[in-house]
């Protein structure tokens, strides 16, 4: 888990995509503070493999979550 206080750009970014994700999170956190509303940011990872998916793997992670 990465907490809001852990969000930093001190190490820079390798790609413009990485920078855009950081900048978007900064904007979301700013909005949350201004409007005093909680937010949750999901950072799904990408798993690339030549194997078929595990049979128990959910088709869509967000839809399979009991809290969504």
Q: Residue 2 CB: number of other CB atoms within 10 A?
A: 9
pTM, 2 dp? 0.59
- Return d(Cα 25, Cα 43) in angstroms, integer: 10
pLDDT of residue 6: 75
pLDDT of residue 62: 61
- Return d(Cα 35, Cα 27) in angstroms, integer: 12
| pLDDT tens-digit map of 25-50 | 999 999 999 999 999 888 777 667 78
Is residue 56's pLDDT more than 70? yes
58 against 16, higher pLDDT: 16
Q: Take residue 12 and report the two structure tokens written for it.
A: 């820079």
pLDDT of residue 46: 67
């Amino acid at each position: 888990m990465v907490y809001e206080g852990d969000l930093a750009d001190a190490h820079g970014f390798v790609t413009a995509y990485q920078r855009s994700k950081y900048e978007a999170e900064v904007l979301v956190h700013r909005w949350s503070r201004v409007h005093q509303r909680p937010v949750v940011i999901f950072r799904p990872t990408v798993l690339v493999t030549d194997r078929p998916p595990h049979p128990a793997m959910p088709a869509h992670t967000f839809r399979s979550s009991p809290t969504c």
